[in-house]
Amino acid sequence: MITNAYLLEVMENVKKRNQGEPEFHQAVAEVLESLEPVVAKYPEFIEKGVIDSIVEPERIIKFRVPWVDDSGKVQINRGFRVQFNSAIGPYKGGLRFHPSVNEGIIKFLGFEQTFKNSLTTLPIGGGKGGSDFDPKGKSDGEVMRFCQSFMTELQKYIGADTDVPAGDIGVGAREIGYLFGQYKRLRDEYTGVLTGKGLTYGGSLARKEATGYGLCYFTEELLKDNGTSFAGKTVVVSGSGNVAIYATEKATTLGGKVVAMSDSNGYIYDKNGIDLDTVKAIKEGRRGRIKEYLDVHPEAEYHEGCSGIWTVKCDIALPCATQNESNEASAKALVANGVLAVCEGANMPSTPEAIHTFQQAGVFFGPAKAANAGGVATSALEMSQNSMRLSWSFEEVDEKLHGIMINIYKSASAAAEEFGMKGNLVAGANIAGFMKVARSMLAYGVC
Ligand code: NDP
C-alpha cells in the first residue's frame, strides 16, 4: 500500500487522467509503492518532477486499421503505439494482436517495459503497441493485409533510432515478416526497425528462445542463491505460445520435469513430463489447440478452463500466458501444494493479491519485469547486430543472454537489500529499473 502523501497524490492523478484503465493503475501502483524508500532518500525525484513525468507516456498514437477480409468485406480495427519513455534509448517493446487490446492494456505494458528495459542495462527506452485484431482463425492472406495496413500508418512514427517494435501475443515470425516487408517497401530502407525478424532478413539467432530461456536462467539464479536448483523439480508452465514453449525447453534441459501446459481453452497434465515436440507440432506447426496433445498421448489428461492449472502440484510455477491469469485463489492453491518458486514469464500474470500470498508464504517470487526481460534484451542484441551488419552465433547470443539474466537477478536483489527489503524482488526490480531512467531524466532538466 502507498503511504507517502506525494505518491498517493500522483496515484490519484493517474486514476483521474486514465479512467477505465485498471491494468495501468495496477502497474503504476506497484511501482510507486516500491519507490517509497527511494523518494525518502532522494527527494529530488519528487522536487524535480521525475515521478510525475515517469507515469505519463511521452506520446500515444492511435489509428484506424482498415483491411479487406477473404469475402471482400472491409474490416476495421484499432491500432495503438504508446511511446512511453525514451530517457535511456529509442522506444522498444512488442506489438500485441489480441481482441482484449485497448489503450489501457498497451499503456500498462509500455510502463512496465520502461523499467524492464532499464534493468537489462542496454540502451533502450520503453514502448508498446498493438491492435484488437485477432489473428486466430484468419487466413494468411487476411493476416498479411491487416499487417500491411497496420504498418502503413505505424511507419510514420518508428525507425531504427526512434522506436523499434517486436512481437508479443499474436505477433510471431509470420506477422513480423509481413510488417517488415511493408516498412521496407514504404520507406525504401533496410534497417533494423523491427526485432524478432526471420534469420534470412536480419533476425538474431536465439531471439525466438530468449524470453523462455531467460526466464529459466533468472529462476535458476534465484534458486541457486537459495541453495537449490531446477534439478529434480516438478514444474508447471501456463500458456503454450512462444514464451511457454521455450521456458519448458530450458526448464527440462536444466533438470526440471514440466507436467502441465495450457492455452486459453484449457490445460493438459502429463505425469510423465510434457512431450515438447508434440506441443511444438500443434502450436508452432499447425496453430492448433492444446487438447490435441491427447491425440498423441491419450494417457495424459485435458481439463477445460485455464485457472485449474494452478491446482496441479508443483515445486516451480512459471506463468507464461497473460496478465492477471493467477489470482489469490490460484496462489493459495499453489502454496497449499508446497510451491517453492514462482517466476513470471508473462507480463503481470499475478494479481497484487496473488503476489501478497506468495510473499507471505515465503515463496521465492521473480516478477515479470526482471524474469522475462531476456526477450527484449536479445532484441537489443539483434539491434546491435543489425547496426554492425554482423550476425553472432547461437552460442554467443545465448551466452550474452545468460550473463544479462544473472546480472538482472543480482541488481534486483542488491537494490532490495539496499533499501531494507531483502529478498523482495518486486521492490528490487522496480527500484533498480527506476534509478537509471530517473537519473537520466534528472540530467535532462524538465523533460
Ligand atoms: P503467444 O501469442 O505466443 O502465446 C500466448 C499464450 O498464452 C497462448 O498459449 C495463448 O493461448 C495463451 N493465452 C492467451 N490469453 C490467455 C488467457 N486469457 N488465459 C490462458 N491462456 C491464455 O504470446 P507470447 O508467448 O509471446 O507471450 C506470452 C506472455 O509473455 C505475454 O504476457 C507477453 O506480453 C509476455 N512476453 C512475451 C515476450 C516475447 O518475447 N514473446 C517478451 C516478454 C514478455 P491461445 O492460443 O488459446 O490464445
In whole angstroms, what is the distance from residue 74 CA to residue 311 CA? 44
* Index of the ligand 1 atom closest to the CA of residue 210: 40
Domain match, 220 and 363 both: yes
Q: Which of 189, 220, 240 is the last residue of a domain?
A: 189
The residues, ordered by sequence, that sit 6+ positions from 385 with a Cβ below 8 Å of its Cβ are: 202, 204, 391, 392
Burial class (CB in 10 A: 0-12, 13-18, 19+), 443: exposed
Question: Which position has the grid cell 518458486?
Answer: 341
* Residue 315 in domain: yes
Tell me the percentage of the chain whose pLDDT exceeds 70.
Answer: 100
Domain match, 220 and 366 both: yes
Mean pLDDT of 360-389: 97
Mean pLDDT of the chain: 97
Burial class (CB in 10 A: 0-12, 13-18, 19+), 264: middle
Encode 373-394: b = buried (16+ Cβ within 10 Å), e = exposed.
Answer: bbbbbbbbbbbebbeeeeebee
Encode 328-367: b = buried (16+ Cβ within 10 Å), e = exposed.
Answer: eebbbbbbebebbbbbbbbbbbbbbebbebbbeeebbbbb
Residue 278 pLDDT > 80: yes
375 within ligand 1 shell (Cβ under 6 A) = yes
Encode 423-441: b = buried (16+ Cβ within 10 Å), e = exposed.
Answer: bbbbbbbbbbbbbbbbebb
* Residue 234 in domain: yes
* Residue 429 in domain: no
93 within ligand 1 shell (Cβ under 6 A) = no
Q: Are 257 and 235 in contact (CB under 8 A)?
A: yes
Q: Which one, of 98, 157, 158, 86, lies nearest residue 124 by Cα?
A: 86
Burial class (CB in 10 A: 0-12, 13-18, 19+), 63: middle
379 within ligand 1 shell (Cβ under 6 A) = no
Residue nearest to atom 29 of ligand 1 (CA): 346
> What radius of gyration, in Å, describes the C-alpha atoms of the chain?
21
* Residue 392 in domain: no
In whole angstroms, what is the distance from residue 415 CA to residue 160 CA? 32
Mean pLDDT of 123-138: 97
Residue nearest to atom 33 of ligand 1 (CA): 346
Domain match, 271 and 294 both: yes
pLDDT on residue 65 = 98
Name the pLDDT band for 102 (thresholds 50, 70, 90).
very high
The pTM assigned to this predicted structure is 0.95
What pairs with residue 62 in β-bridges? 80
In whole angstroms, what is the distance from residue 439 CA to residue 443 CA? 6
Domain match, 147 and 84 both: yes
Burial class (CB in 10 A: 0-12, 13-18, 19+), 45: buried
Q: Are 135 and 167 in contact (CB under 8 A)?
A: no
Mean pLDDT of 330-336: 98
Q: Residue 229: which CATH number? A: 3.40.50.720
Residue nearest to atom 31 of ligand 1 (CA): 346
Mean pLDDT of 15-19: 98
Domain match, 366 and 218 both: yes
Residue nearest to atom 18 of ligand 1 (CA): 264
Q: Which one, of 74, 30, 8, lies nearest residue 323 by Cα?
A: 30
211 within ligand 1 shell (Cβ under 6 A) = yes
Amino acid at 328: E
Q: Are 214 and 377 in contact (CB under 8 A)?
A: yes
Q: Are 51 and 6 in contact (CB under 8 A)?
A: yes
Name the pLDDT band for 300 (thresholds 50, 70, 90).
very high
Domain match, 128 and 263 both: no
Q: Candidates 117, 207, 243: which one to mutate for ligand 1, based on the most atoms within 8 Å of Cβ?
A: 243
325 within ligand 1 shell (Cβ under 6 A) = yes
C-alpha cell at 22: 485498471
433 within ligand 1 shell (Cβ under 6 A) = no
Q: Are 96 and 170 in contact (CB under 8 A)?
A: yes
Tell me the percentage of the chain whose pLDDT exceeds 90.
Answer: 99
Give the single-character DSSP code of 199.
Answer: G
440 within ligand 1 shell (Cβ under 6 A) = no
Amino acid at 129: G
* Index of the ligand 1 atom closest to the CA of residue 170: 2
* Residue 71 in domain: yes
Q: Which domain holds residue 19?
A: 5-54
Our count of domains for the chain comes to: 3
Domain match, 177 and 311 both: no
Mean pLDDT of 219-234: 98
Q: Are 429 and 119 in contact (CB under 8 A)?
A: yes
Q: Are 176 and 167 in contact (CB under 8 A)?
A: yes
In whole angstroms, what is the distance from residue 191 CA to residue 202 CA? 9
Residue nearest to atom 21 of ligand 1 (CA): 264
Mean pLDDT of 292-304: 98
Residue 447 pLDDT > 80: no
State the DSSP H helix or E strand holding residue 343, giving kind and residue range, or none if neither.
strand 341-343
327 within ligand 1 shell (Cβ under 6 A) = no
Residue nearest to atom 2 of ligand 1 (CA): 169
Whole-number Å distance, alpha carbon 169 to ligand 1 midpoint, is 5
Whole-number Å distance, alpha carbon 346 to ligand 1 midpoint, is 7
Residue 403 pLDDT > 90: yes
Instruction: Provide the annotated active-site residues.
Output: 128
* Residue 352 in domain: yes
For the stretch 148-186, pLDDT in tens is 999 999 999 999 999 999 999 999 999 999 999 999 999
* Index of the ligand 1 atom closest to the CA of residue 96: 34
Residue 446 pLDDT > 90: no
Q: Candidates 168, 176, 274: which one to mutate for ligand 1, based on the most atoms within 8 Å of Cβ?
A: 168
Domain match, 214 and 174 both: no
Amino acid at 81: R
In whole angstroms, what is the distance from residue 83 CA to residue 22 CA? 19
In whole angstroms, what is the distance from residue 48 CA to residue 55 CA? 14
Domain match, 48 and 139 both: no
C-alpha cell at 153: 500508418
Whole-number Å distance, alpha carbon 173 to ligand 1 midpoint, is 14
Domain match, 94 and 20 both: no
Domain match, 18 and 117 both: no
* Residue 153 in domain: yes
Q: Which of 371, 404, 431 is the last residue of a domain?
A: 371
Whole-number Å distance, alpha carbon 134 to ligand 1 midpoint, is 13
Task: Report the chain's terminal Cα–Cα distance, integer Å.
Answer: 28
* Residue 423 in domain: no
Q: Which of 324, 340, 371 is the last residue of a domain?
A: 371
Q: Are 401 and 392 in contact (CB under 8 A)?
A: no
Whole-number Å distance, alpha carbon 98 to ligand 1 midpoint, is 10
Q: Candidates 105, 164, 322: which one to mutate for ligand 1, based on the most atoms within 8 Å of Cβ?
A: 322
Q: Residue 144: which CATH number? A: 3.40.50.10860
Domain match, 310 and 240 both: yes
What pairs with residue 78 in β-bridges? 64
CA distances from 183 to 30, 167, 358 (A): 36, 15, 44
Q: Candidates 116, 169, 174: which one to mutate for ligand 1, based on the most atoms within 8 Å of Cβ?
A: 169
* Beta-sheet strands, E only, within 223-272: 234-238, 257-262, 266-269
